[in-house]
Amino acid sequence: MDAHTLQYILRSKYNINEKFQAEGIFVVLQGSTMKAKGLFSIGIGERIVVVAGINPRGPEIDYNPVFLTPVGLLGVTYKNASMIVTISTPLKGKNSVQLCSSSKAAAIWNDFTTANDYLASKLSGDIRCSASLSASSSDASVGAEPE
């Protein structure tokens, strides 16, 4: 495990042992203006979703966890064309983030959508999940939200 990943920092610094199915760096978008508000790392595990601010100062990247939320309390939707994820929580409301460009962006996006779809199907026995695809495949939107 890379020493600069959110998963590693959570394990070594906070003693949180959660294996992530997906982890990536996202830009937080401010409202409907789509202006960048900051860099955050998001990790999706079997039990929790972690959002952490990124502190790039110094020789190593450090993470500041903003929230750790059980997957059953989240609503997650995504748009494939723009690689935007919207996370809804009872306490924080809705926040949209966009995956940062990198040579691994397609693989990271695939990990996120696969993890989200897997968790939605796994939780469908416990909570109601909704999934829908729009007519345009380039603007597909799939989501799982507690009802």
Question: For the whole prediction, is pTM greater than 0.85?
Answer: no
pLDDT at residue 138 greater than cutoff 50: no
Query: How far is Cα 84 from Cα 19, in angstroms, rounded to an integer?
Result: 23
Q: Give the confidence band of 142 by pLDDT, cuts at 50, 70, 90.
A: very low
Domain range list for the chain: 6-144
Could you say which of 1.10.3720.10, 3.30.43.10, 2.30.29.30, 3.40.50.300 is the CATH number of the domain covering 6-144?
2.30.29.30
pLDDT at residue 147 greater than cutoff 50: no
Q: Closest Cα to residue 99, out of 111, 82, 116, 114?
A: 82
Each residue's pLDDT tens digit, 28-72: 887 666 666 788 999 999 889 999 999 877 777 788 898 888 888
